[in-house]
Amino acid sequence: MKGFFVFIFCIFAFSANSLEKKSTFNKELFNKAQSEGKLVVVSSWTKYCSSCASQMKVLNKAKNEFDNIEYFTFEITNKEVAKLLNVQYQTTLLIFKDNKEIYRSIGETSREKIYKAIKSSI
């Protein structure tokens, strides 16, 4: 019985994380942000990925704390975007500057490390 309640709790916890996620990637806006000289941050996610939700929370805060940043997300099942950005895994973090990819990590959720990557890219 205890196992059943743990299972139910996990279902609700993962569902809550998945509700916060939505794809915002748009190729035209991505290209426009780069042409305007913005630092472009992109992250990939999948529906029931708790590390994706953790990474996205950090990045949502970062976009408001740093100037001149554009932040996009996309679901890894979107093969067109995944192929465009050469992303194969969920929780992939990409940073672009001057139309070039300058940073890539997989599975990074640490606020300290993500902020350090953004600061060093500005």
Q: What is the pLDDT of residues 47-92, one digit of tens each?
A: 999 999 999 999 999 999 999 999 999 999 999 999 999 999 999 9
Per-residue pLDDT, 71: 97
pTM given for the model: 0.82
Domain residue limits at 34: 2-121
58: CATH: 3.40.30.10
pLDDT tens across 21-38, in order? 789 999 999 999 999 999
Domain count, the chain: 1
Report the greatest alpha carbon distance in the chain. 57
